[in-house]
Chain A
Amino acid sequence: MRLLALACFLFVCSAGAGCVRVKPYERELLAKPTMTFQPDPHEDVLDNHMLEAREGAAGGYGSAGGGCGCN
């Protein structure tokens, strides 16, 4: 079931991708640091570790480091 869901996920993504072709010389705006999903990975590690120790949910946003942090 999970493999099927993953296959559907990849199919939908790749089907959509075929419609969009932005050339390298058209990516001036996309190349800006603020256009990345993780502009500051070190800040994300500290933030995610703090949040995952205080919320029931976890995952989806990258690494949260290790350890408990549960006090």
Chain B
Amino acid sequence: MQLRLSAAIALLVATTATAVRADDSFVAKTQVYTDSDHTTVVSPLAALSRDAWKGGTLSASYVADVVSSASIDVVSNATSHMSDFRSEITAGLVQKLRNTTLSGSYVYSVENDYQSHNVELGVSQDMFEKNSTLAIGATFSANDVYRTGDQAFHRKLTVGGVSASWTQVLDRATIAQLSYTFSYGNGYWASPYRFVRIESTMPDDPACPDYCFKVPENEPNERYRHAAVIGLNRHLFADSAIQGDYRFYSDNWGILSHTVQLRYFITWGDVTLRLRERFYYQSSASFFLPHYTTTTVQPFVTADRELSTFWSNVSGFKVSWRLPWVHRALELEAKVDYFHFGYLNFALLHSRDGADIEAGINVIY
């Protein structure tokens, strides 16, 4: 009797698994980043997703970053060139229960001088006949920072965050989303390789012909970060859609930033074209100075251009091509984004141009 029951349960599970395993997917893509600051990053990605049981989806992915750089950060510290390799493994679970979706993921990232563990948990609830969705989430990240060639150097950085978003159907062709994230980090934010030049207050000072001395970069341990995003998706004529979003960001280091992004999608048969335009501006951190002098030395000093005042622009396109005659859900994609960064008060670099090129394949089986 017990054997029959077990067999029946096994048959039921197998039947259910076969019935719901309609959306298993495989994604592989490679992104190449290259810029005029002599940095190239090749990032291959492979991801698997499997409908493992009723409403339950398991996923796993691997990303690598192969970095080669002779950027101003590298050469200004008397190193001609650096290379690095980062591996990132992600495992995730999503469980759908009627109008509620639970999700969790773990990310492990390792490179020769940096290691991090990240956990994300989330829950979303559909409401008002699925016209509204409330999602909340929490993240925790533990990071260990090392310095190549210095066995004694070890610093820690921990970051925790919460997020909330509201997605709202506005009419038959329009969806809006409002989201907010807050994070608090405590630990070592600086780069162990960056040193800050302290110059003399007198020009052409014979005692300090180039600069007086260098000190290790030092940034505050605590960082509170707020980001709020409002987005709108609107289906337009024929088979096209436009998406726009705006992000406001601020933190306790004094950085304020504005990001505006527009994406336009148009589909002709099996081909979808996406055009993208993104504009970003930020003010510098309160302790950032283009030049530190012997009289302006302060507790926190940085040579990080990401903390300076700058703007950037990304423009590009992406083409996705479905091949139903090869497989019912096979898709190839290619993307090219061109970007420009304009640094307004960073002494060592005034601009950076580059491209982000990607090719990939998606299969649902």
Contact = CB atoms under 8 A, between A and B. Distances in A.
Interface string A43-64: 1011100100111111111010
B338 interface: no
B179 A46 contact: no
Nearest to B178: A13
Nearest to B228: A60
Interface size range of chain A in the complex: 35 or more
B73 interface: yes
Contacts, number: 187
A38 B339 CA distance: 21
A4 interface: no
Interface in B111-130: 111, 113-114, 116-118, 120, 127-130
Given A9-B178, A54-B306, A68 B145 contact: yes
A10 B136 CA distance: 11
Interface string B181-221: 11100000001000000000000000000000000000000
Given A34-B272, A50-B41, A16 B168 contact: yes
B306 A65 contact: no
21 contacts: A6-B164, A10-B134, A17-B128, A17-B168, A24-B130, A29-B173, A34-B265, A35-B241, A43-B335, A46-B43, A46-B45, A50-B356, A53-B306, A57-B227, A61-B247, A67-B86, A67-B111, A68-B111, A70-B191, A71-B82, A71-B84
A66 B117 contact: yes
Contacts of B128: 17-18, 20-21
Given A23-B129, A30-B172, A66-B88, A37 B181 contact: no
Interface string B309-333: 0001000000000000000000000
Contacts of B114: 67-68
A40 B267 CA distance: 16
Contacts of A46: 29, 31, 43, 45, 63, 358
A56 B257 contact: yes
A58 B225 contact: yes
The A interface, classified by DSSP as helix, strand, loop or mixed, is loop
Contacts of A71: 39, 67, 69, 71, 73-74, 82, 84
A42 B109 contact: no
Given A13-B134, A14-B132, A29-B235, A56 B358 contact: no
A37 B231 contact: yes
A55 to B, nearest CB: 6
B150 interface: no
A35 B233 contact: yes
B102 to A, nearest CB: 16
Contacts of A24: 129-130
Contact of A34 (B45, B164, B267): B267
Given A37-B177, A59-B181, A69-B65, 4 more contacts: A9-B180, A21-B131, A42-B47, A61-B229
Interface of B: 27, 29, 31, 33, 39, 41, 43, 45, 47, 61, 63, 65, 67, 69, 71, 73-74, 82, 84, 86, 88, 90, 105, 107-111, 113-114, 116-118, 120, 127-132, 134, 141, 143, 145, 161, 163-164, 166-173, 175, 177-183, 191, 225-229, 231, 233, 235, 239, 241, 243, 247, 249, 251, 253, 255, 257, 259, 265, 267, 272, 280, 282, 285, 306-307, 312, 335, 341, 356, 358
B241 A13 contact: no
Contact of A17 (B105, B127, B358): B127
Contacts of A35: 175, 233, 235, 241
Nearest to A45: B63
Contacts of B27: 42
A17 B243 CA distance: 20
Contacts of B164: 6, 9-10
Contacts of B335: 43
